[in-house]
Amino acid sequence: MSSNRSDLYRLDACEAARMLKACEVSPSEMVEAAAARIEAVEPHINALPTTCIERALDHARRIEKGQAPKGRLGGLPIAIKDLNPVAGVRTTYGSPIYTDHIPETSDVLVEKAEADGGIVIAKSNTPEFGAGASTFNEVHGKTCNPWNTSRSVAGSSGGSGAALAAGEVWLAQGSDLGGSLRIPGSFNGVVGLRPSPGRVARGMRGPYGGSIFDTLAVDGPMARTVADCALFLDTLSGVHDEDPLSLPLPATSFHAAARLSQAPRRVGFSRDLGIVPVDREVADICEAAVKRWAQEGVEVEEAKPDFSESIRSFQTLRAAFFAACHADHLENHRDRLKPEVIWNIEKGLAIDAAEIGRAEVARSRLVASVARFFERFDLLLCPTVLVPPFDVDVRYVEEVEGQRFDNYVHWLALTFAITLTGCPALSLPVGLTADGLPVGLQIMAPVRAEATLLSASAHLEGLPGCAKMTPVDPKDADGRILLG
């Protein structure tokens, strides 16, 4: 790779895709640039523990020869979360049970991405079976935050978030049940978008029940900017026969919606959704970002739907999900599962139909409350996470502002409450703590209104104080850059 290509990793994905389609840079050069950055960064963060450089170079050459589609992405290297199979590439699901698993077929979304010019260069790290919002596992170890390598990247798409923040790839895929696209978006200073169920088709091609048909888990895009995230959402969206919920492509692209960059008329803001305590500094940073909109003439009101039943409802439905996905793992491989996964499966196996029914009824009441909320407001805003990035060796947050949590999921309430609504939501970087750690604002739009969400988020991103903050070079706890 020529020296004048050494800074390609700094490009936004949209600009990189433009250059690829204009033949100003080749797919092979982009793969080589990503590989060089991965080699430099990985020893410090462990975000992409499995790489497939030769497979990526082969794909790049086929695009250059016209033997594979250039598509929307033009040959742009991307990362795929280690929960989603990529044909011929080690895919472990973060579990010792699948340490040596190499799938023969790719996930639906991987096929979509490759058909649109995305080149898979690596698998991003995830906690075991995506369970938990701190990225560590017994197969690949822990992933460290490039902003401060003593801090967590969150999860479960933590490897994707860190890889983007450190400039290893331009786009990354993640998945989200209780906040796994949004929480690492916040902790790493990037954009993580949870789409409406069906916006990104989900297949059933994994070797275990983790791909069961449901309406809580979704796949989605992560990127450094809103426009980049919208570009990747265009790539991943569309109808697929394997997913009966899958939605047709909109008449206008999501990327065009982001470029429109239109402020909302009226928004509701809550510091805590009325359900969990939030670190004061985090809440203040988010509120300051919302006030920037108010200064632009947007009506801001303290308001929210009724989330009072959301914690119990989600905990029950999540437990049922884990029992459905992993009961066989508990029976056959209990000694190889982390304790949090065992707890979640056993909780699911212990609940009865009446309890699940009550959770579904409570969820229905929340959906009705959200519909009423959006009769008055364009968006709902709140912090993405109730704390800034914490110690990388902490398994989960146990206490905030004097309130103790009784399990490893409770502290994710700000995101999992919104999961229950079925509405699209994203985390937008809006500032740094006094310690220089990123904070994200969670923005939710009405169901299937990803275009509205992206347009408004792009507008806020363009205001002073909310500009793109990545890529960054990994730093240690004393702020020293770790690269040579």
* Burial (CB count <10 Å: 0-12, 13-18, 19+), residue 208: middle
Q: Extract the tokens encoding 147.
A: 């902003």
Kind and range of the H or E run holding 392: none
- The CA distance from 383 to 103, in Å, is 38
Rounded Cα distance, 47 and 471, in Å: 14
Report the C-alpha gap between 335 and 97 in whole angstroms: 10
The helix/strand count (H/E) of the chain reads as 14, 17
Strands 379-383 and 438-444: antiparallel
Give how far Cα 93 sits from Cα of 85, 135, 372, Å. Answer: 9, 12, 39
- Long-range pairs of 306-309 with CB within 8 A, sequence gap ≥ 24: 306/365, 306/366, 306/369, 307/273, 307/274, 307/275, 307/366, 307/417, 308/274, 308/275, 309/362, 309/365, 309/366
Three-class SS state of 223? strand
Query: H or E element: which one contains 121?
Result: strand 118-124
Residue of 28, 124, 152, 156 marked catalytic: 156
Q: Is 180 a catalytic residue?
A: yes
156 included as an active-site residue: yes
What span, in angstroms and rounded, lies between the C-alpha atoms of 400 and 193? 25
Give Cα separations from 97 to 12, 137, 326, 336, 339 (angstroms).
Answer: 37, 12, 12, 7, 15
Which residues are within 8 A (CB) of 235 and not within 5 positions of it... i.e. 6 or more apart?
71, 72, 73, 112, 113, 116, 118, 221
CB neighbours of residue 434 within 10 Å: 8
Q: What is the DSSP string of 325-358?
A: HHHHHHHHHGGGS-HHHHHHHHHHHH--HHHHHH
Among residues 81, 123, 304, 475, the one annotated as catalytic is: 81
Which residue in this structure is represented by tokens 């204009």?
22
- Classified as helix, coil or strand, 37 is helix
Q: What are the residue ranges of helices labelled H in 46-190? A: 53-64, 108-115, 158-165, 182-188
In whole angstroms, give the CA distance from residue 169 to residue 235: 16
Cα distance between residue 114 and residue 255, in whole Å: 18
81 assigned to active site: yes
Active-site residue, from 180, 310, 455, 457: 180
In the chain, the amino acid numbered 78 is I
Q: Which residues are catalytic?
A: 81, 156, 180
